Chain A
Amino acid sequence: MSQEANMRRVTAIKNGTVIDHVPAGKALSVLKMLGIGGDMSNPVSLVMNVPSKKMGGKDIIKVEDRELTQHELDRLALVAPDASVAIIRAYSVAEKLDINLTDEVVNVARCTFSNCITENPREPLPHRLIVTKRDPLELRCRYCGKTQDIEALVDNLI
């Protein structure tokens, strides 16, 4: 299927954010990580499992009237580190944003290990997850050293 056909699945948006090259099937996790749920009034379009030359299959998300911040992009790096993000203004791509997975993910999510010292919400030091492998993504808590359950991290976003 052509790229053009992919793009026709959902209409172009006037203003907002397009997140492309999300790993196939991960769009719902991305929405969860961005805190986009039923309580948001912005229109959101979702395309899942469409063919992609680069990835085999991919998901695409279009969020109208909302521009993602760098902090929100940091969150995205945990499930869709290779996604491409475009900010749309007046139907044109105004900015392209890169998701750069840093070597350390700071204050984005809490460690998923139940006996980690950071489990106490009153402990003030930042939550620090070290990227130990990029493909597939593997993170370890700086403090307890436990390898993180990436799916569970979505529930531990700060």
Chain B
Amino acid sequence: MPGLITMDDLTNDEIISILDDAERLLPVARGEIYLPLLQGRILGNLFFEPSTRTRMSFETAMKRLGGDVVNLGDVKTSSVVKGETLFDTIQMVDGYTDIIAMRHPRQGAAQYACDSAKVPILNGGDGAGHHPTQTMLDLFTIRQSHGTLEGLNVVLAGDLRYGRTVHSLSHALVRFGCNVTFASPESLRMPEEIVADLKVHGAEVVETDDLLGQINSADVIYMTRIQKERFPDEDEYAKVAGAYKLQASDLDGAKAEMIIMHPLPRVNEIHPSVDSTRHARYFEQAFNGVVARMALMCRLLGVDVPAAIGTEGGIQ
């Protein structure tokens, strides 16, 4: 059964068409309209590692569309702790549900689940691999702000080595002809094979350790969290993380329409002073996870999103 494992599973036309669906679903996501397109359908939420936004937004998306959700629950109390293989877990959940959203600490787990299942699998993150549903909501947010995905200057900053959101996003951006700049400490650079893939797609990739120098030419700055555990000692972490922080005063020379995004949770990399600037988009971005996932679930379940959705009382 086809699922969404990496962004390669969608063509550019499909991406645009799903983003269009998501846009029409905005009033449904906000709870202004009840549109039970997925009534009677059950989502299996299989989160083998912690998740707040992804898990909750999948659940919200399914419930806003009239469907229901079953959760794996805490991995520590599930059959996984008894040594059940992923294959067996998927066989079981496959029988209980119509679609599965999954996050797993092992890379490749989503493709493995997809090969094991009859129902569609939505990859909600596999190790340091891919996170395509996050990419869809990121693309939605970028298009919402700039009106296009094409030809933008996008700076991806922070932990590019282990941050799966930036792996999936950079692939998609390049496909839409964006110029991508990777700003990260040397030890957290984008993996070579991803840079090689991007170059195959014809992208000119700029790698730098200077984030602040990129601000004025950027249309989008996508920040990620640098995690302490990636560094051998606290001092080294403090030195590196300090160079990848944004505060409001850093944005004086930025383009008016430049937006700052972050997959959240943030720690220190975006100072709260940025929240009230015109550039901050990370909370809207988190909300957009609901519409993007609504549209994706409809697509994978073969349910058409109506061409016109009224602002009152359901479908016009």
Which residues of the partner chain B approach A122 to less than 8 Å between Cβ atoms? 83, 85
Interface extent on A, as a size class? 10 to 19
Q: Is the CB of B106 within 8 A of A119?
A: yes
Q: Is A15 an interface residue (CB 8 A)?
A: no
CA distance A125 to B193 in the complex (A): 25
Q: Is the CB of B193 within 8 A of A117?
A: no
Stretch at the interface among A28-36, A73-81, A98-106, A140-148: A140-148
Chain A contact residues: helix, strand, loop or mixed: loop
Q: Tell me which of A120, A125, A146 contacts B107 (CB under 8 A).
A: A146
Which residues of the partner chain A approach B130 to less than 8 Å between Cβ atoms? 145
Which residues of the partner chain A approach B85 to less than 8 Å between Cβ atoms? 120, 122-124
Q: Is B108 an interface residue (CB 8 A)?
A: yes
Which residues of the partner chain A approach B181 to less than 8 Å between Cβ atoms? none
Which residues of the partner chain A approach B115 to less than 8 Å between Cβ atoms? 125, 143
Residue interface bits B103-117, CB-to-A below 8 A is 1, else 0: 011111101100110
Q: Tell me which of B6, B107, B116 contacts A116 (CB under 8 A).
A: B107
Q: Tell me which of A119, A120, A146 contacts B193 (CB under 8 A).
A: A146
Q: Is the CB of A144 within 8 A of B193?
A: no
With A124-B85, A124-B87, A144-B127 as known contacts, state yes or no: A117 contacts B109, CB within 8 Å.
yes
Q: Is A118 an interface residue (CB 8 A)?
A: yes
Which residues of the partner chain B approach A119 to less than 8 Å between Cβ atoms? 106
Q: Is the CB of A116 within 8 A of B106?
A: yes
Q: Tell me which of A113, A120, A145 contacts B6 (CB under 8 A).
A: A145
Residue interface bits A92-116, CB-to-B below 8 A is 1, else 0: 0000000000000000000101011
Q: Is the CB of B193 within 8 A of A115?
A: no
Q: Is the CB of A144 within 8 A of B129?
A: yes
Q: Is the CB of A113 within 8 A of B107?
A: yes
A116 to chain B: closest CB distance in Å? 5
Q: Is the CB of B112 within 8 A of A143?
A: yes
Q: What are 28 A-B pairs with beta-carbon distances under 8 A?
A: A111-B108, A113-B107, A115-B106, A115-B127, A116-B108, A117-B107, A117-B126, A118-B108, A118-B112, A119-B106, A120-B85, A120-B86, A123-B87, A123-B112, A142-B111, A143-B109, A143-B112, A144-B107, A144-B108, A144-B111, A144-B126, A144-B127, A145-B108, A145-B111, A145-B129, A145-B193, A146-B193, A147-B193
11 further A-B pairs in the complex, CB-CB below 8 A; given A125-B87, A144-B129: A115-B127, A117-B86, A117-B104, A117-B107, A119-B106, A124-B87, A125-B115, A144-B108, A144-B111, A145-B108, A145-B111
Chain B residues proximal to chain A, CB less than 8 Å? 6, 83, 85-87, 104-109, 111-112, 115-116, 126-130, 193
